[in-house]
């Protein structure tokens, strides 16, 4: 296969003091929302605490196209979850998208 390119969305969250949501719950809820979109691969989870992580929680989601990512971003359940759950608890959010060589949604590993 030639070089396959995907859109990889990355969002890191640093929680406010005393506003630490349950990471497994957030991961489950976000994954359920992502299932209703064209996300090829979705994962989320807390920092493993190796060394000095500067953020607490990460989302990595892969999409075949920019349009699929933008549709995920604007999806009503996702929008309200970001506005009602994530943003109120986050002191900082570091988010961007890159062109990824391969989606994490492969099966042979």
C-beta of residue 34 within 8 angstroms of C-beta of residue 57? no
Nearest-angstrom CA–CA distance, 61 and 55: 17
Site for its own copies in 23-42 (CB under 8 A): 41
* d(C-alpha 30, C-alpha 52), whole Å: 25
Q: Quick one: 21 or 46, whose CB is closer to its own copies?
A: 46
CB of 59 to its own copies, least distance (A): 9
Among 34, 69, 78, 86, indicate the residue that binds its own copies (CB under 8 A).
69
For residues 98 and 109, give the distance between their C-alpha atoms in angstroms, rounded to a whole number. Answer: 23
Using the rule CB under 8 A, which residue among 19, 32, 66, 91 binds its own copies?
Answer: 66
Q: Quote the distance between the C-alpha of residue 9 and its chain's center.
A: 6
Which parts of this chain interact with its own copies (CB under 8 A)? 1, 4, 7-8, 10, 12, 14, 41, 43-48, 50-51, 53-56, 58, 60, 66, 69-70, 73, 92-109
């Amino acid at each position: 296969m030639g070089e396959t390119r995907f859109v990889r969305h990355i969002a890191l969250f640093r929680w406010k003091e005393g506003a630490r949501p349950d990471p497994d719950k957030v991961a489950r809820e976000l994954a359920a929302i992502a299932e209703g979109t064209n996300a090829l691969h979705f994962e989320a989870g807390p920092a493993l605490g190796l060394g000095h992580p500067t953020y607490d929680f990460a989302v990595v989601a892969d999409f075949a196209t920019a349009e699929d990512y933008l549709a995920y971003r604007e999806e009503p359940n996702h929008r309200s979850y970001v506005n009602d759950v994530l943003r109120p608890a986050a002191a900082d959010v570091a988010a961007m998208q890159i062109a990824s060589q391969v989606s994490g949604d492969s099966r042979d590993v």
